[in-house]
Amino acid sequence: GSVFWHSASITITSHSSGESCCCQSQRRTFLPHGGHPSEWQTHQHGPLSELWALLLDEERGRLFVGAQNHLLSLALDDISQRGRKIYWPAPVEWREECNWAGKDITAECMNFVKILHPYNRTHLYACGTGAFHPVCAFIEAGQHAEEPVFKLDPHHTEDGKGKSPYDPRHTAASVLVGEELYSGVATDLMGRDFTIFRSLGRRPSIRTEQHDSRWLNEPKFVAVFLVPESEDPDDDKIYFFFRETAVERQQGLGKTSFARIGQICRNDMGGQRSLVNKWTTFLKARLVCAVPGPDGADTHFDELRDVFLLQTRDKRNPLIYAIFSTSSSVFQGSAVCVYTMADIRRAFLGPFAHKEGPNYQWVSYQGRVPYPRPGMCPSKTFGTFGSTKDFPDEVIQFARHHPLMYNPVLPHGQRPLFLQATVPYTFTRIAVDRVTAADGHYDVLFIGTDVGTVLKVVSVPKESWHRMEPLLLEELQIFQVRIRVPHPTTWACSALLFPQHQLYAGSTTALAQLPLHRCGAYGKACAECCLARDPYCAWDGNNCTRYVPNTKRRFRRQDVRNGDPNVLCSEGELEPSRNPRRDTVPQKQLYGVEGSTVFLECIPKSLQAHILWTYQRTLNDPQREVQMDERVVRTERGVLLRSVQRSDAGLYLCHATEHGFTQPLLRLSLDGDRRLAGHGCITSMVTGRAGCRDRKVGGQRQQGQGWGTCCSQAQAALPAHSRAGCLQGRAVSCSSWQLPVPSSSSPCLGPGSPWGQQGPG
């Protein structure tokens, strides 16, 4: 099925009860912006439009987009193709009225389409802000991809109050169940009357109690889902995920945001004498995502950002994946927590939170709970009541005053599944794909950030299936973000959907379509494919390619759980690793001048690999590990060899060690030929210091040879892969030639450069 990510398999039935990643995780591969493969497709909507809602429809083969004053219909197999478009602006009089109220005519007084749902086989239901006049309409979209119909009748629209927010900056979440729309939204112009609202359909509209902070307190709605409780549809419940200002926070400590999960019964009809046209089954509980600390000093992630519901074989027990960020200005981080319906139901069947008065603390209610228990749906499964209107008055009154549960919902494993701290981004969206691999089922997480990247994470078991280890496989720079803004939904990924092994990512201005897997990026060797531990990929005997279940055993060599090349790969495929003297190891030649500096560069394909350097005088001599000291300095891109000595000449072998497996990557031959000692220009270029005009040849100016010739010869003598090649110095005449200083974007600079951020001296 499709995955909706507005704003991405191990069977997680036994998720982590042990440690999770608790600090910055190193990605295995990184694809920068501009390095997109040919199979990526993009759609740019335009500089004046903003994309607000996505709806993936596999039956119609279309991707529907809600934007500023527009609705788009794009081909699912190639979103770069020209799609169909509906122009749906707010009426002129609404825009003028909006402008007179002090709103920005271009930034606010437009129709921002924020709600998109499939209504039936031929129509969609869409709602927009309508220049602070919420409006909804039915969109005719046809039944099949080949039908060209995509139209809206502007004369047949309806009031969008309680469905779409007035202000485009306000969040809203909704789900269409049957012919009824369940929404979490602000229902007034000022954005102060927040409600959970049922509209459309034949039954009367129902909402939460108005202006009661015990029910809702400045909520920001994130997601809404239908989850059946039993075989009886009368037991179906709607779950709302939101964050709000915590009423249970001790007075005088300021406002604190808590993540919440709320529930209502789908067949709730309101009360008969009290709570008329109001929910009688509404309950809410705190959603906790925290890293346990000493003496109860837990690190909490309270800012709920997005929620993904992963369906399992049992529709009554999906898994809930949620992403959070911290609200602290001291500690910055993001986390993914996983929740089971069993834990959620346990919280709603637990004690109610109770407060005697303004000066009392919140405690667990110890009195008698009336029957039927508040929060239970009227059905044949749990009682004899046919409607909520038949509930006794004491049940209705208890529900009015006790919407909050005392016990929170804790994540599976009592801690986050995956988190990142001290990184320059915040998680904004998540989608999860359950993947069948050779050794089991794995959940692959696609996490969007506020800097336009998508993280690809897989959770694999450690000692047992009850302890999980998250692996950060890839980081993809999907969208170019020039500045990082405090509102993640304004930038970066706002939606993820992925049918048919395609990932659809959206920002507020662009869409991208790309494969879920880039198996070829892991390398061309069996060991590299195995070490990647990507459940989408397997070694087919020649290449690292997409894994296809139910193929012949010899064509599906894959080991996600252990990632051991010694088990997966044949002796012939591992021979280069076992015998680094074989000619299959790439070799490069370097030249060093006595007293100069030489950089030995070696960058593994996997950023998670540890690099080990060994040295041997000749190919027949034994290898010994290169020890780091003040003269031999390790950097992110290799080793910096300062004050080169004659004894440094020889063979340097770069090994990559990952997951207990070591393989040679590169052999560098350092030549200390004294014939090059006269070329001061070479020393100059290798060390990245002064230009050629500040040097003499061999300490003496040579007769009959100009400085330009000297520098040209020196540059020609240096290999292209040396630092001089990176600097790209050009000698025209010795009196004018200088080594250019690289720009800040040059690969010569940065944390991995031997010169650091300052450039050559």
pLDDT band for 506, please (50, 70, 90 cuts).
confident
Q: Is 64 helix (H, G, I), strand (E, B) or coil?
A: strand
Beta strands at 427-437 and 440-449: parallel, antiparallel or unpaired: antiparallel
pLDDT band for 152, please (50, 70, 90 cuts).
very high
More confident residue, 566 or 330: 566
- Rounded-to-integer distance, Cα 48 and Cα 68, Å: 8
End-to-end CA distance of the chain: 58
Among the ranges given (49-53, 322-326, 417-421), the one the predictor scored with the smallest mean pLDDT? 49-53
Residues 6+ apart with CB under 8 A from 251: none
The kind and range of the H/E element at 575 are helix 571-578
pLDDT band for 94, please (50, 70, 90 cuts).
very high
Amino acid making up residue 329? S
Q: Following CA atoms 33, 37, 38, 44 in sequence, which dihedral angle do they give, to the nearest 10 degrees?
A: -30
User: What share of residues in the chain are helix, strand, coil (percent, to 5)?
Assistant: 15, 35, 50
Could you give phi then psi for residue 71, rounded to 5 degrees? -120, 135
Q: How many CB atoms lie within 10 A of CB 632?
A: 17
Taking only the tens place, the pLDDT of each residue in 176-212 is 999 999 999 999 988 899 999 999 999 999 999 998 9
- Rounded-to-integer distance, Cα 696 and Cα 702, Å: 8
pLDDT at 524 over 80: yes
Taking only the tens place, the pLDDT of each residue in 555-610 is 678 889 888 888 888 777 775 555 555 557 888 998 888 888 899 988 877 777 88
- Rounded-to-integer distance, Cα 114 and Cα 95, Å: 18
| Axis crossing angle, helix 707-717 with helix 680-687, rounded to the nearest 10 | 60
The kind and range of the H/E element at 341 are helix 341-348
CA 758 from chain center: how many Å? 33
pLDDT band for 100, please (50, 70, 90 cuts).
very high
Cβ pair 210, 196 in contact under 8 A: no
CA 26 from chain center: how many Å? 14
Which residue from 378, 347, 392, 176 is spatially nearest to 281, judged by alpha carbons?
378
pLDDT at 660 over 90: no
Cβ pair 645, 594 in contact under 8 A: yes
pLDDT at 2 over 50: no
CATH topology of domain 12-515: Methylamine Dehydrogenase; Chain H (2.130.10)
Task: State residue 583's pLDDT score.
Answer: 58
User: What integer is the mean pLDDT of 725-745?
Assistant: 34
Cβ pair 20, 416 in contact under 8 A: yes
Task: State residue 499's pLDDT score.
Answer: 58
Cβ pair 472, 593 in contact under 8 A: no
Task: State residue 34's pLDDT score.
Answer: 52
Q: How do the domains of the chain map onto residue ranges? A: 12-515, 519-578, 579-676, 678-761
Letter string b/e over residues 312-350, b meaning 16 or more CB atoms within 10 A of that residue's CB: eeeeebbbbbbbbbbeeeeeebbbbbbbbbebbbebbee
Amino acid making up residue 631? R
**Per the structure block, which two tokens stand in for 332?**
């910055």
- Rounded-to-integer distance, Cα 107 and Cα 129, Å: 12
- Rounded-to-integer distance, Cα 316 and Cα 595, Å: 72
Q: CATH topology of 519-578 equal to that of 579-676?
A: no
> What DSSP character marks residue 371?
S
**Per the structure block, which two tokens stand in for 395?**
């049940």
Task: State residue 689's pLDDT score.
Answer: 32
Cβ pair 651, 668 in contact under 8 A: yes
Handedness of CA 107, 109, 115, 121 (dihedral sign): negative
Q: What is the side-by-side order of every strand in the sheet holding 453-461?
A: 29-31, 468-477, 453-461, 440-449, 427-437
pLDDT at 61 over 70: yes
> What DSSP character marks residue 74?
E
Q: How many CB atoms lie within 10 A of CB 757?
A: 9
Q: Is 579-676 a CATH 2.60.40.10 domain?
A: yes
Task: State residue 483's pLDDT score.
Answer: 43
Taking only the tens place, the pLDDT of each residue in 212-252 is 999 999 999 999 999 999 999 999 999 999 999 999 876 66
Among the ranges given (252-256, 345-349, 533-537, 634-638), the one the predictor scored with the smallest mean pLDDT? 252-256
Residue in the block written with tokens 């099925």: 1
**DSSP states of 602-657:** ---S-TTPEEEEEEESSTTSPPEEPPP-SSEEEETTEEEE-S--GGG-EEEEEEEE
pLDDT band for 135, please (50, 70, 90 cuts).
very high
pLDDT at 22 over 50: no
Task: State residue 496's pLDDT score.
Answer: 57
Cis peptide before 372 (omega within 30 of 0): yes
The kind and range of the H/E element at 73 are strand 70-75
Taking only the tens place, the pLDDT of each residue in 429-482 is 999 999 989 888 899 999 999 988 899 999 887 765 566 788 899 888 888 765
Burial (CB count <10 Å: 0-12, 13-18, 19+), residue 515: middle
Task: Tell me how far CA of residue 152 lies from CA of 148, 180, 585, in angstroms.
Answer: 13, 20, 63
Residue in the block written with tokens 């690999």: 609
pLDDT at 750 over 90: no
- Rounded-to-integer distance, Cα 262 and Cα 207, Å: 13
Task: State residue 706's pLDDT score.
Answer: 38
Task: State residue 386's pLDDT score.
Answer: 86
Could you give phi then psi for residue 626, rounded to 5 degrees? -80, 120
Q: Is 519-578 a CATH 3.30.1680.10 domain?
A: yes
Average pLDDT, the chain: 79
Radius of gyration for the alpha carbons in the chain, expressed in angstroms and rounded: 31
pLDDT at 709 over 60: no
Amino acid making up residue 659? H
Task: State residue 699's pLDDT score.
Answer: 36
The kind and range of the H/E element at 304 are strand 303-310
Q: How many CB atoms lie within 10 A of CB 401?
A: 14
Which residue from 695, 509, 664 is spatially nearest to 595, judged by alpha carbons?
695
Among the ranges given (15-24, 51-60, 670-679), the one the predictor scored with the smallest mean pLDDT? 15-24
Cβ pair 478, 518 in contact under 8 A: no
pLDDT band for 683, please (50, 70, 90 cuts).
very low
Facing residues of 303 across strands?
A: 325
**DSSP states of 389-452:** GGS-HHHHHHHHH--BBSSPBPPGGGS-SEEEES-S--EEEEEEEEEEETTEEEEEEEEEETTS
pLDDT at 746 over 70: no
- Rounded-to-integer distance, Cα 100 and Cα 90, Å: 15
Task: State residue 498's pLDDT score.
Answer: 58
More confident residue, 251 or 53: 53
Task: State residue 8's pLDDT score.
Answer: 30
Amino acid making up residue 596? S
Task: State residue 594's pLDDT score.
Answer: 85
Which residue from 203, 149, 196 is spatially nearest to 178, judged by alpha carbons?
203
User: What integer is the mean pLDDT of 476-498?
Assistant: 53
Residue in the block written with tokens 């704003």: 7
- Rounded-to-integer distance, Cα 263 and Cα 514, Å: 36
Angle at 465 between CA 423 and CA 228, to 5 degrees: 85
